[in-house]
């Protein structure tokens, strides 16, 4: 029964099988072409990472300037 080659199996056993039929593809080949496997660091695209790093840089510059103004190391010209 299990040692028979696939040619000798009766046709109705394949049609009534609860598993995949022979005409259905096992793997979906379009899924791997449409979707990238891995998207950058933390799941972000390069553009998103650039925007986040730019915002962090601007916040650092503003906070550093405010710190210098508060401590009196820099004085605004009047």
pLDDT exceeds 60 at position 11:
no
- Give, for 54, the enclosing helix (H) or strand (E): helix 46-71
What tokens appear for 9 in the block? 């199996």
> What average pLDDT does this structure show over 50-73?
97
- Residue with more model confidence, 55 or 19: 55
- Burial class (CB within 10 angstroms; exposed 0-12, middle 13-18, buried 19+) of 48: middle
Q: How confident is the model at residue 6 (pLDDT cuts 50, 70, 90)?
A: low
Query: With the C-alpha atoms ordered 31, 34, 38, 43, is the resulting torsion angle positive or negative?
Result: negative
Residue 2's CB is within 10 A of a number of other CB atoms, namely 3
**pTM of the entire predicted model:** 0.49
> What average pLDDT does this structure show over 45-70?
97
């Amino acid at each position: 029964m299990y040692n028979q080659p696939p040619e000798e199996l009766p046709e109705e056993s394949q049609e009534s099988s609860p598993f995949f039929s022979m005409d259905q593809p096992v793997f979906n080949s379009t899924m791997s072409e449409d979707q990238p496997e891995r998207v950058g660091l933390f799941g972000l695209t390069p553009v998103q990472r650039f925007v986040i790093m730019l915002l962090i840089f601007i916040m650092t510059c503003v906070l550093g300037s405010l710190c210098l103004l508060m401590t009196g190391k820099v004085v605004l010209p009047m």
